């Protein structure tokens, strides 16, 4: 089907403002393929069904809208955790500030340094999981990323990683437009925890492709930075082998526009995939979580748990889908999305979807929107807890089910600490 002319024009306008990075090696081909995908699909527009609740204009336009730097004067999240620390500033790797790329059980390389090689393990993964994730729903911003990204890390995990890898994204330039593409490959039985934090840039387009072999475990916890004016479109594409585990949790606070897509395919039997998110928005912020989980194997479990606390005009969006193909018998699928609206100015837009072709499955989904429970609030206050503190306790309690998706206690505590600080600053 031919694209509408308007879409072609908008796409070409964006592409003409960029130049395709040259890579002589394996990466060159991947980029060209990705670019042709972009041209075929066209970049998202407001008319697209998949962008019904979130306006893509500022993510698509040539220049990144300016975003003021934001300093909260707080130690960065995950500081207290023993980790391999990698730092990107406005989307560019900072070797001085980062740790050496050495970690037992893991090889870490930079996309900027290996693209010219003839052969690389990431061939066949880079842009490829993204490509698989373009059907049945198109995700053109991810293809755009595969074509143009020059920065990112390629992580090959061969055993149990000795400690988590933490990638921090700093923003120093009010107009920076970052494009980051990471590829992670976990061999059979390998284990890795990836931590990400920070605003990254005025505008961020990030893709994370994760290939999880049989019995491997990938855990992911990120915080997206409280910079008020930042924008981000992120995609995670994951492929899960037999008995493998994928668990991802995202804390989103503030940010004028955030669209997080997570696209997972469970291809091996008895795989487990959990995607969770806690969003807190107080002001003119827009958070969109779009999740698509495809069950292609027997006896797999998937869980989606999203909680959003909204106030002062904040908007929360959740589009979540569980697709259970005919082969995927004994699927256990669960999806919940809930919002806590702290005033009448905020809104939550949810589109939960189940599409099931197998007959022996247990799938449930639910979506709710509600206010603070007045009975609980009074009960707390009647015990002497001041109003603001009682509100914070109830907000944290509301978010608890999502935070509980984080397996490592130390990391969960970091997230709870951040949430508490945020609440104390914003709500009192």
Query: Which one among 24, 46, 66, 387 touches other proteins, defined by CB under 8 A?
Result: 387
Residue 344 found at the interface with other proteins (CB under 8 A): no
Q: Which stretch binds other proteins (CB under 8 A): 193-201, 202-210, 298-306, 396-404?
A: 396-404
Burial per residue of 80-103, b for 16 or more beta-carbon CB atoms within 10 angstroms, e otherwise: ebebbbbbbbbbebeeeebeebeb
When binding is defined by CB under 8 A, the residue of 117, 163, 228, 381 that contacts other proteins is 381
Judged by beta carbon, residue 357 or residue 379, the one nearer other proteins is 379
Per CB under 8 A, contacts with other proteins among 214-253 are none
Among 18, 380, 412, 427, binds other proteins (CB under 8 A): 380
CB nearer other proteins, residue 114 or residue 385 = 385
Of the listed pieces 61-69, 266-274, 313-321, 385-393, which binds other proteins according to CB under 8 A? 385-393
Cα separation, 421 vs 417, in Å, equals: 6
Distance CA 114, CA 82 (A): 27
Distance CA 191, CA 353 (A): 31
Select the residue interacting with other proteins from 49, 359, 375, 409 (CB under 8 A).
Answer: 375
Give yes or no for residue 382 binding other proteins (CB under 8 A).
yes
Nearer to other proteins, 364 or 376 (CB): 376
Choose, by CB under 8 A, the member of 97, 376, 410, 425 that binds other proteins.
376
Among 397, 410, 417, 424, binds other proteins (CB under 8 A): 397
Question: Of 111, 107, 212, which is closest to residue 162 (Cα–Cα)?
Answer: 107
- List, as one string, the DSSP characters of 11-36: HHHHHHTS-PPP-SSHHHHHHHHHHH
171 token code pair: 């923003």
Based on the shown chain and the rule CB under 8 A, indicate whether residue 409 belongs to the binding site for other proteins.
no
Q: What is the DSSP letter of 65?
A: P
What is the biggest distance separating any 2 CA atoms in the chain, rounded to whole angstroms? 70
- Alpha carbon 181 to chain centroid distance? 12
- Chain contacts with other proteins (rule: CB under 8 A): 373-376, 378-387, 389-390, 393-394, 396-401
């Amino acid at each position: 089907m031919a694209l509408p002319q308007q879409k072609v024009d908008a796409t070409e306008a964006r592409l003409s403002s960029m130049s395709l990075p040259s890579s002589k090696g394996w990466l060159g081909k991947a980029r060209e393929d990705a670019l042709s995908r972009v041209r075929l699909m066209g970049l998202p527009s407001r008319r697209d069904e998949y962008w019904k609740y979130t306006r893509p204009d500022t993510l698509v336009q040539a220049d990144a809208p300016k975003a003021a730097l934001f300093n909260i004067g707080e130690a960065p999240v995950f500081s207290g955790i023993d980790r391999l620390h990698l730092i990107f500033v406005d989307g560019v790797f900072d070797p001085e500030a980062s740790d050496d790329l050495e970690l037992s059980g893991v090889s870490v390389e930079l996309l900027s340094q290996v693209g010219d090689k003839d052969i690389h393990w990431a061939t066949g993964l880079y842009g490829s999981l993204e490509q698989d994730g373009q059907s049945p729903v198109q995700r053109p911003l991810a293809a755009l990323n595969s074509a143009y990204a020059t920065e990112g890390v390629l992580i090959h995990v061969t055993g149990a990683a000795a400690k988590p890898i933490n990638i921090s994204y700093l923003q120093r330039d009010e107009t920076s437009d970052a494009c980051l593409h990471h590829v992670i490959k976990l061999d059979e039985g390998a284990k890795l925890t990836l931590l990400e934090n920070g605003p990254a840039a005025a505008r961020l387009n990030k893709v994370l492709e994760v290939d999880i072999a049989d019995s491997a475990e990938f855990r992911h916890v990120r915080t997206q930075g409280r910079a008020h004016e930042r924008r981000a479109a992120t995609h995670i594409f994951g492929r899960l082998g037999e008995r493998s585990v994928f668990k991802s949790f995202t804390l989103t606070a503030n940010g004028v526009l955030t669209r997080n897509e997570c696209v997972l395919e469970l291809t091996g039997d008895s795989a487990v995939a959990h995607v969770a998110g806690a969003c807190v928005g107080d002001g003119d912020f827009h958070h969109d979580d779009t999740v698509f989980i495809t069950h292609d194997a027997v006896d797999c479990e998937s869980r989606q748990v999203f909680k959003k606390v909204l106030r002062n005009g904040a908007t929360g969006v959740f589009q979540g889908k569980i697709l259970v193909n005919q082969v995927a018998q004994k699927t256990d699928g669960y999806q919940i999305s809930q919002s806590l609206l702290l005033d009448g100015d905020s809104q939550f837009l949810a589109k939960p979807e189940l599409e099931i072709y197998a007959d022996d499955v247990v799938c449930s989904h639910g979506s709710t929107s509600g206010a603070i429970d007045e009975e609980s609030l009074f009960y707390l206050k009647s015990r002497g807890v001041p109003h603001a503190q009682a509100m914070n306790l109830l907000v944290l309690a509301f978010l608890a089910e999502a935070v509980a998706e984080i397996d490592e206690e130390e990391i969960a505590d970091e997230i709870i600490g951040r949430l508490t600080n945020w609440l104390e600053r914003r709500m009192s």
